[in-house]
Structure 1
Amino acid sequence: MKKMQRALLVWLGCLVFLAACSGGNNNPGGSNAEPAAPGNSGETPVNAETDGELPHVELIWYYGVSQVSPDQQKIEAEVNRIVEEKLNATVKLRPIDFGSYTTKLNTASAAGEKFDLVWTANWAFNYDENVKKGAFIPLDELLEQHAPETLKAIPSFTWDATKYQGEIYAVPNYQTITSRYGASIRKDLADKYGFDASTVETLEDLEPFLALVKENDPSITPLMLTGPGTKFEPFMYGFDDNGIRIGDDTFKTQILEETPEYKSFVELMHSWFEKGYINDDASTVKQIDALYNGKYASGLESAMKPGYEAEKKASNGGYDVIGIPLTEATTRRTSNITTLTAVSRTSANPERAVMLIELVNTDPELYNLLSFGIEGTHYEKLDENTVRIDPNASYRAQNWVFGNVFNGYLVEGQAPDTWEKTKALNESAFVQPTFGFSFDDTAVKAEYANVMAVKAEYEPLLMTGTVDPETYLPEYLTKLRNAGAEKVRDELQRQLDAWVAENVKS
């Protein structure tokens, strides 16, 4: 009997010891906590039955803005009033101007800095590149558990565009998912000169307007371009993003820089630069910010959508603009990944980070606060769904950075049915035949990196017309070939052929 009692006491002691060890490591929000494995931070899932509340955590969120606002701390305080009540969490908002966003985030990510949410895109802090580097965690299970409404609200083909090797690595900030290229011109100047915008059917047709501005208003730049932001838009010239001519059912890709269309574009830009139509600092300017408001007459656009003119007015010093589409609307993979929110691999609280994504995408008060600021301070409501933004307000942000724009206000000048028309355009736009294809550069990683480095050197100069293509284009093409462009093209073709065989019906 005594032997049995001793054995029972030893067994109970072991249970107490194990319980103590287990409880001692449960510190997901502690300052010394290491990043948890993806999908396993140690937090109690929000949909799990539990007698207690979720432990309080602090999240860090990086995102891009046109300029960091003086009232940022006021916005953060209001954001945390909502987030703390609903998620028992607080958020440190870390906005960075778009001009330096990629450089700063590349540095932070490479250094293993701990943060939770991060804005990414195909044009800044590149989504595909960072997925391949392992900068983000896969989100499929986390979205099912903690963001089911967001998962349902976004079309399946948009989710497909985010996938890498079958898994989702970021949440699209759902907005227009179409590309429609063209130009915008200031309406007051068009009226002043008697310029009929309907006469512009091609990019070349814009030149008479540029000449009028140059002749009559020398203090205004006729065409404002930025180095990283000005691209050769393939669809405007009949190609898709993979260098395949639209309508070519052989799906033969080519190096776009070697096409006659590319040569014509850079020649046109150079002729305009030489005539003084383009800003002298075009190749080095990274973004159009408040310094340029009212100082330029036109710009090239890639996302012309319902309500576009009103949005442009709000970000262009209050000047009305006329949008001039030069193509039909098309949807493709890149137009579906122009703005996304990912969870960093260094996040200690990935579940709570995804809960915050769900909250931003389902709580209009929180979404509009991030997008427009504080009512009465940064904007005024004209009706239940429309706001007038104060052009001199001390808070500026882009609504498409944070979440689903269809949950947000319209801005003054946008028609009441803008969101309905945008959704209809999303559903009716021409779908490029290679939609869903994503190039994997693993087999040509060195060559691909070398090609991208050459592009980064020459594109800002050629795209803005700063240099003479007669000299620089042959030099550029030689360097592309030496960097391995043909090998990259051949690998792209191999993958495309395999993808077409599996996905395209004959």
Structure 2
Amino acid sequence: MKHKQKRFMFLLAMVFALSTWLTACGGEGGSASNQESNSSSGKSASANNAAVNQTDDSQPDLSQEVKLKMLMIGGKPADYDEVFGELNQLLKEKINATVEVEFLDWADWSQKYPLKFAANENFDIAYTANWAYYNDQARKGGFVELTEDLLQKYAPLTWEAMPEFAWQQAEVDGKLYMVPNNNNEVTDKVVLIREDLRKKYHLEPVNSPETYSAYVKTIAAGEQGISGFGAKPADGWKWHELDQILLEQQNNWNLIDYSIPFAYKLDDEKGQVFNVYDTPEFSQLLAYYKDLAVNKVWSKNIVSNKNDTWQDMKAGKTASYAQNLGTLAFNLAEMRRDKPEYEVAIVDLTPDKKKIGAISTQNGMAVHAGSKNVERSLMLIDLLQNDKEIHDLTMYGIAGKHYEPSGDDKYTPGPSSESYTGFSNWGWNSLLNRKDASYPVEADQILEGWMDKVYHFPLETFVFDDTHVKNEVANVGNVMLRYAIPLEYGLIDDLDKGQAELIKQLEAAGIDTIRQELQSQIDAFLANQ
């Protein structure tokens, strides 16, 4: 977050001019603004920020107990009452507050979440993310703007620990509305393979598209009842499950949004977008996929496959599948525990390419614009992310029951671990996160190697707003499912004809209209950097 001198002087002037009135209001931040008649969310946020600045030169007033309400995504854990009962005892001691959580179940959270804001319901804190309405609600005035003064005073531990770039990544139109998570992640995908089968056929180590092709074709030919690659395109996914690796990562591209086929080169400072389906690289990839299909690396019925790819691999029915590093690391640990007769390994097919770090807004917490308790809300977020006792409790549950601590930074699941899981407590991921003691060393080594290759680029935090082209986006999505998926899985005999038909159908669906809108937004975004 950039500290601008003019803005600072303006805030000082405002505080001086309003100091008498604000002092008279007293109490928790935002309380004065909420005595007014119902106003817009943006106006509420502005009033709250003014009110909380009244105590800039004094310690926070904790004399009055506050009951906070938090909005989280995911199902309510079975042992929520027990865990948060202990949490509230700690919060009462530390900030004279308690918290109650409302859980929005995974099945319908995307419908209910924006309605909570539209109705200006009574809650103080909400989980949010770049995939969970952060930019949308920030622009609509759903969140309190978080100034440097607010953070330094009411979330000092977070302010000290958070990297500068993380704050910058979380800005929307130059303003901050989220306390992002503070946790290093890389979004690149990797592949889990049966290392015992690779060794059986004396194949080279798998570390490139070419060595991977040799591996899956050999397994498909030599192992009856085992497919070379497991995929699950039947859930509406518009891309081949290897595309992120073999199309994006291999070419140092970044896809704007997985609902449309537009990308840009990572090192292109102008951010010129292009249709990936209309590139030589895509044509080459189609030939690669066709070769795998001809060699029966996957079934001809793959597009209707509804099986769990990991369970198929665990059952010995498939020899590889692609996912993010964290997921495959846990799969590897599970396989070693449950099926030690199978030797598996995580392989990176693009080890020398640029790596994309997950932006800080992948997970985070924000203060609702209608909150009457802005200061105490920030203090709670600060503790969740940085107080070890509270972080451990809310992330892993009760020691000895839900988890067993192992040193300061590792844990093993406890006998009741399944009774405290499944909701978005990753909103306060931080440097205090523990790692499962069974987490494979090799996964850590891969991540460590990636960190030196993480590439920060101008459009890292850009989010496409499809408000004006929703119909075209929907039409293009339908074309992708109908024409691109069969083409990529090698089900079309004539690749050139199939690719030409795909492009023709995209044009009819309105892809040029999307391109114009997208490029216009990118140009404006870069102009404001």
Settle same-fold status: TM greater than 0.5: yes
- Of the candidates 186, 191, 196, which is equivalent to residue 183 of structure 1? 191
Give the structure 1 partner of residue 323 of structure 2: 301
- CA offsets per residue over residues 448-472 of structure 1, 9 Å max, x none? x334434554556756968967799
Q: Name stretches of at least 5 consecutive residues in structure 2 with no aligned partner.
A: 1-20, 257-262
TM-score when normalising by structure 2: 0.69
Distance of 2:153 and 2:485 partners within structure 1: 45
Give the structure 1 partner of residue 147 of structure 2: 140
Give the structure 2 partner of residue 413 of structure 1: 438
1:455-466 residue pairs with structure 2 within 5 A? 457=478, 462=484
Distance of 2:427 and 2:266 partners within structure 1: 33
Q: Name stretches of at least 5 consecutive residues in structure 1 with no aligned partner.
A: 1-17
SS of the counterpart of 1:198? coil
Q: 1:403 and 2:428 equivalent? A: yes
- Of the candidates 60, 71, 74, which is equivalent to residue 79 of structure 2? 71
- Of the candidates 50, 70, 73, which is equivalent to residue 60 of structure 1? 70
Distance of 1:483 and 1:277 partners within structure 2: 26
Distance of 1:454 and 1:312 partners within structure 2: 36
- CA offsets per residue over residues 214-266 of structure 1, 9 Å max, x none? 98685999525464777543333331345223555665321234334446667
Give the structure 1 partner of residue 515 of structure 2: 489
* Structure 2 CA distance for partners of 1:130 and 1:498, relative to 1, 3 Å: closer
- CA offsets per residue over residues 359-381 of structure 1, 9 Å max, x none? 11111122222222222212223
Give the structure 1 partner of residue 89 of structure 2: 81
- CA offsets per residue over residues 28-77 of structure 1, 9 Å max, x none? 5999996782164467869834776143222223134xx65422332222
- Kindly state the Cα deviation for residue 407 of structure 1 after the two structures are TM-superposed: 0.7
* Structure 2 CA distance for partners of 1:60 and 1:336, relative to 1, 3 Å: closer
SS of the counterpart of 2:365? strand
Distance of 1:33 and 1:297 partners within structure 2: 63
Give the structure 1 partner of residue 474 of structure 2: 453
SS of the counterpart of 1:86? helix
Give the structure 2 partner of residue 324 of structure 1: 347
Distance of 1:390 and 1:475 partners within structure 2: 55
* Structure 2 CA distance for partners of 1:159 and 1:203, relative to 1, 3 Å: farther
Distance of 1:151 and 1:316 partners within structure 2: 40
* Structure 2 CA distance for partners of 1:153 and 1:105, relative to 1, 3 Å: same
Aligned partners of 2:181 and 2:430 also within 8 Å: yes
- Of the candidates 208, 212, 215, which is equivalent to residue 201 of structure 1? 208
- Kindly state the Cα deviation for residue 325 of structure 1 after the two structures are TM-superposed: 1.5
Aligned partners of 1:183 and 1:301 also within 8 Å: yes
- Of the candidates 356, 380, 386, which is equivalent to residue 362 of structure 1? 386
SS of the counterpart of 2:401? coil
Report how many residues are paired.
469
- Kindly state the Cα deviation for residue 438 of structure 1 after the two structures are TM-superposed: 2.8
Aligned partners of 2:65 and 2:96 also within 8 Å: yes
Give the letter aligned to residue 409 of structure 1: R
Distance of 1:98 and 1:193 partners within structure 2: 42
- CA offsets per residue over residues 90-127 of structure 1, 9 Å max, x none? 222344555644344244444444333333333x3243
* Structure 2 CA distance for partners of 1:322 and 1:93, relative to 1, 3 Å: farther
- Of the candidates 244, 250, 253, which is equivalent to residue 239 of structure 1? 253
SS of the counterpart of 1:38? helix
SS of the counterpart of 1:368? helix
Compute the RMSD of aligned alpha carbons: 5.0
TM-score when normalising by structure 1: 0.72
* Structure 2 CA distance for partners of 1:163 and 1:477, relative to 1, 3 Å: farther
Give the structure 2 partner of residue 9 of structure 1: none
